[in-house]
């Protein structure tokens, strides 16, 4: 028997049995059976085996929930076609699991699609019919709806959201390369929070301008400029990686970067702060970190992350590893006087790992110290200061003690001199100036003790000129 698809009419599809010259109309009992041979279904006959392990195909019935529940498993898988939805069938596995099975041919291509629409227990009968009709109707017009949906999903997957772009940028470009990786990630997420779920390729200059202007309108001009620079760096990288087609930060006006801080504590402020750190208003860990910063001139983050393994207990030398150094070079610092006492006491209870830990058990960071100071801003004994102001204060005091700038820079871990001098030091000079550093820090330890004890005359707040202490 050969089945030929006839013309369409308001009543549907007509089928013609060529050899018998019989026309089967849509309301005929044989209509549903014949449509199994049409282009919107895959030819099946009772008892024949389908491809892909579907098992044998039984007689088609008009599926209902009751008839589906009545289907029982057998030794081999089988499928029961639905008379009301051509191509759709219930497949019953030997284990008893029932799934929706759909098979159809895409008109004009000769291609056969075969797929599962899910388990019967998860997808209802009407939902399965609705999805099957959607796919087979498209197939009758020569459209492969599944392929189109896959292409759309692939295209959507290739389009990164702003949130995904931040994660990718931090992973590939920032982490492991920049010491401020966490700060950069945090600033990006704060700056772009309202548009995190939008596609990165759809972001335009006006979107970012509104976000940055809002920050500037709150009086945070410097922060707005930092956000513009940080977000701009991310989008320029994304443009170079063909993730976006334009840089939406291009052409954005710069905000006022603000005046660089030049706060230096005077002698009275140093004394008042030290006494306050001993008052237990601030917990011991952040208090001792700030003391060590005043004693050594090291960065707050370098001290916060100090580990027992970095300290030589025989010679009392602290070696900052290159991985934690801003300039990616190791630095040695002699531990003398009060600084040695603080570290020695810490090592008495910590044999390995971080010497300073937060309440959560994580290693202390400069951000932790900053937070402790922020929540106690009304209790500070002096005018507002930052941890970097303490480092600047140490450098200023050492300079006033007639310590050469090159030695001051070596103590605080900075590069001094012109470009030629820095190149010479970076590539050729191989000395840590350990003995000279020890002498400087011992002299500063004595001077700091005199300041705290009130043995030195008070002075005004001095402002650091040039780039001597950076």
Do residues 8 and 103 both lie within one domain? Answer: no
**Torsion region of 106: left, alpha or beta (phi above 0 gives left; psi -120 to 50 gives alpha):** beta
Together in a domain, 297 and 414: yes
Q: Is residue 275 part of a domain?
A: yes
The burial of 107, by beta-carbon neighbours within 10 Å (0-12 exposed, 13-18 middle, 19 or more buried), is given as middle
Nearest to 120 by CA among 75, 74, 80, 87: 80
Contact 22, 16 (CB under 8 A): yes
CA distance 198 to 234: 16
C-alpha to C-alpha distance for 466 and 295, rounded to whole angstroms: 23
Question: Could you tell me if 311 and 408 lie in one domain?
Answer: yes
Give yes or no: residues 23 and 44 share one domain. no
Same domain, 8 and 41: no
Helical H segments across 305-365, by residue range? 337-347
Spatial separation of the C-alpha atoms in residues 21 and 34, rounded to whole Å:
15
Q: Is 294 found in the same domain as 374?
A: yes
In a domain, 51, yes or no: yes
Gap between the Cα atoms of 394 and 296, Å rounded: 8
Q: Which two tokens stand for residue 416?
A: 């001094």
Give yes or no for residue 24 having a pLDDT over 90.
no
Regarding whether 293 and 392 lie in a shared domain, the answer is yes
15, pLDDT greater than 80: no
Is there a single domain that holds both residue 76 and residue 220?
no
β-partners of residue 15 are 5, 24
For residue 302, give the nearest of 417, 449, 414, 425 by alpha carbon: 414
Q: What is the CATH number of the domain that holds 226?
A: 1.10.150
337 occurs within a structural domain:
yes
Contact 466, 389 (CB under 8 A): no
Query: Average of pLDDT values for 156-182?
Result: 86
- In this structure, the answer to whether residues 11 and 81 fall within a common structural domain is no
Q: Are residues 205 and 77 in the same domain?
A: no
Looking at residue 457, its pLDDT comes to 64
In a domain, 114, yes or no: yes
Q: What is the pLDDT of residues 413-426, one digit of tens each?
A: 876 555 555 554 45
Q: For position 151, what pLDDT does the model report?
A: 79
| Residue 261 lies inside a defined structural domain of this protein | no
Residue at 470 is within a domain: no
- 290: nearest Cα among 393, 363, 360: 393
Is residue 451 within 8 A of residue 393, CB to CB? The reply is no
22 and 64: one domain?
A: no
Per residue in 84-103, pLDDT (tens digit) is: 998 999 999 999 999 999 99
| Contact (Cβ atoms closer than 8 angstroms) between residue 101 and residue 116 | yes
In this predicted structure, the answer to whether residue 33 has a pLDDT above a threshold of 50 is no
User: Do 358 and 429 belong together in one domain?
Assistant: yes
For residue 11, the enclosing domain spans 1-30
Question: 297-306, 319-328, 417-426: which has the highest mean pLDDT?
Answer: 297-306
The answer to the question of residue 258 being in a domain is no
CA torsion sign, 309 to 312 to 313 to 314?
positive
Asked if the model's pLDDT at residue 165 lies above 80, the reply is: yes
Give the Cα separation of 122 and 338 in Å (integer): 70
The answer to whether residue 461 sits within a structural domain is no
Question: What is the pTM (predicted TM-score) of this model?
Answer: 0.53
pLDDT tens-digit readout, 201-231:
899 999 999 999 999 999 888 899 999 999 9
How many structural domains are present in the chain? 4
Query: Residues near 445 by Cβ (< 8 Å), separated by ≥ 6?
Result: 295, 336, 337, 338, 339
CATH of residue 53: 3.30.160.390
| Percentage above 90 pLDDT, the chain | 54
CATH code for position 435 = 1.10.443.10
Q: Which residues contact 29 (CB under 8 A, 6 or more apart)?
A: none
Q: Which of 156, 183, 199 is the last residue of a domain?
A: 156
């Amino acid at each position: 028997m050969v089945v030929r698809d006839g013309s369409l009419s308001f009543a549907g599809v007509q089928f013609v049995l060529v050899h018998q010259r019989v026309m089967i109309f849509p309301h005929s009992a044989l209509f549903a059976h014949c449509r199994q041979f049409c282009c919107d279904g895959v030819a099946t006959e009772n008892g024949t085996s389908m491809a892909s392990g579907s098992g044998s195909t039984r007689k088609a019935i008009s599926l209902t929930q009751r008839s589906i529940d009545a289907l029982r498993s057998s030794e081999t898988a089988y499928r029961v076609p639905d008379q009301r939805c051509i191509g759709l069938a219930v497949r019953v596995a030997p284990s008893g699991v029932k799934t929706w099975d759909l098979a159809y041919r895409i008109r004009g291509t000769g291609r056969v699609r075969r797929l599962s629409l899910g388990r019967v227990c998860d997808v209802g009968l009407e939902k399965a019919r609705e999805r099957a009709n959607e796919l087979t109707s498209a197939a009758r017009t020569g459209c492969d709806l599944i392929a189109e949906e896959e292409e759309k999903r692939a295209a959507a997957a290739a389009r990164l959201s702003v949130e995904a772009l931040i994660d990718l940028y931090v992973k590939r470009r920032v982490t492991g390369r920049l010491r401020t990786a966490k700060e950069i990630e945090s600033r990006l997420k704060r700056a772009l929070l309202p548009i995190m779920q939008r596609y990165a390729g759809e972001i335009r200059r006006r979107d970012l301008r509104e976000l940055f202007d809002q920050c500037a309108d709150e009086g945070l001009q410097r922060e707005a400029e930092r956000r513009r620079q940080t977000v701009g760096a991310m989008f320029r990288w994304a443009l170079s990686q063909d993730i976006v087609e334009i840089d939406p930060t291009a052409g954005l006006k710069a905000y006022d970067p603000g005046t660089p801080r030049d706060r230096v504590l005077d002698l009275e402020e140093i004394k008042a702060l030290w006494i306050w750190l001993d008052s237990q208003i601030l917990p011991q860990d952040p208090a001792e970190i700030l003391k060590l910063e005043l004693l050594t001139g090291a960065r707050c983050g370098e001290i916060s992350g100090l580990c027992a393994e970095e300290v030589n207990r025989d010679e009392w030398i602290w070696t900052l590893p290159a991985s934690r150094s801003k300039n990616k070079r190791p630095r040695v610092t002699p531990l003398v006087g009060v600084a040695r006492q603080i570290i020695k006491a810490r090592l008495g209870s910590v044999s390995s790992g971080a010497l300073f830990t937060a309440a959560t058990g994580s290693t202390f960071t400069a951000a932790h110290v900053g937070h402790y100071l922020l929540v106690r801003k009304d209790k500070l004994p002096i005018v507002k200061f930052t941890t970097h102001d303490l480092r600047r204060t140490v450098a200023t005091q050492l300079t006033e003690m007639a310590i050469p700038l090159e030695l001051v820079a070596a103590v605080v871990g900075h590069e001094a001199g012109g470009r030629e001098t820095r190149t010479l030091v970076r590539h050729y000079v191989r000395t840590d100036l350990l003995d000279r550093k020890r002498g400087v820090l011992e002299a500063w330890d004595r001077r700091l003790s005199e300041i705290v004890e009130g043995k030195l005359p008070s002075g005004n707040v001095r402002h650091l000129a040039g780039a001597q202490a950076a």
